[in-house]
Amino acid sequence: MERNQGCLDCPARGKHLFCSMETSALEKFDSIGTLVQFGSGGVIFREGDNCGSVHVLCSGRVKLSATSREGRTLILKIARAGEVLGLSAALANQPYEVTAETVEPCRLKTIRRQALLDFLDRNPDASMRAARAVAQEYKAAFSEVRRLALPATASGRVAGLLLEWTREQAVPNTRQGRCTMTLTHEEIASMTATTRETVTRVLGQLKRDQLISIRGAALTVLQPQELERMAV
């Protein structure tokens, strides 16, 4: 498990868009990349850096964020295994738009930008997968825009985020509406364009109104339709 395994015998093989190529393509892909390990809090790349490589996240979670000169931080999302980090920057030939920072130990497959482009040129199937992967990225960015801009109030934006978490963490055979809250109030504030204190107050109010319940890191949405109404 700890040995430097390749994509072919990776436990995630076939589970993700980019890890589901046919054997020969995956073999080639495997050979042009390097497996890299990060501890918690490692910086994979920074906003504005030249996009030298793209990174396939094999395991672990990565925080993607952007910062303004004034120091305000916006967390876009927490990326999970299977996501391809920096792909859109590589394709658009632009610097990285975000900073990518591990929030737990991670394994990544790192590929030089040019090597990836060459690989995509020679593998039509892979380039379609790349296109689909970016389409996913787009979809996520778009729903971020929606969640930030449409709700009129801070509570609405927080409610929208909680709903998104329950949706993306939904596990079959489990009661609906559960998710694990691994972020601090400060970080939630950075995802909802508000402040730490407001997040504390909003979550407190939602608990008092019995719309959610929180036990440690386990959050349960009790009244999804009510949250929907706030989030709109």
CA 89 – CA 222 distance, rounded (Å): 39
If one asks whether residue 41 binds DNA (CB under 7 A), the answer comes out as no
- Binding mask 59-78 toward its own copies (x if CB under 8 A, else -) reads -------x-xxx-x-x-x--
If one asks whether residue 198 binds DNA (CB under 7 A), the answer comes out as yes
CA 42 – CA 40 distance, rounded (Å): 6
CB of 133 to its own copies, least distance (A): 8
CB of 216 to its own copies, least distance (A): 29
Pick 71 or 172: Cβ nearer DNA: 71
Q: Which stretch binds DNA (CB under 7 A): 117-125, 139-147, 172-180, 185-193?
A: 185-193
If one asks whether residue 118 binds DNA (CB under 7 A), the answer comes out as no
Round to the nearest angstrom and report the end-to-end CA distance of the chain: 45
Q: Which stretch binds its own copies (CB under 8 A): 31-39, 101-109, 143-151, 170-178?
A: 143-151
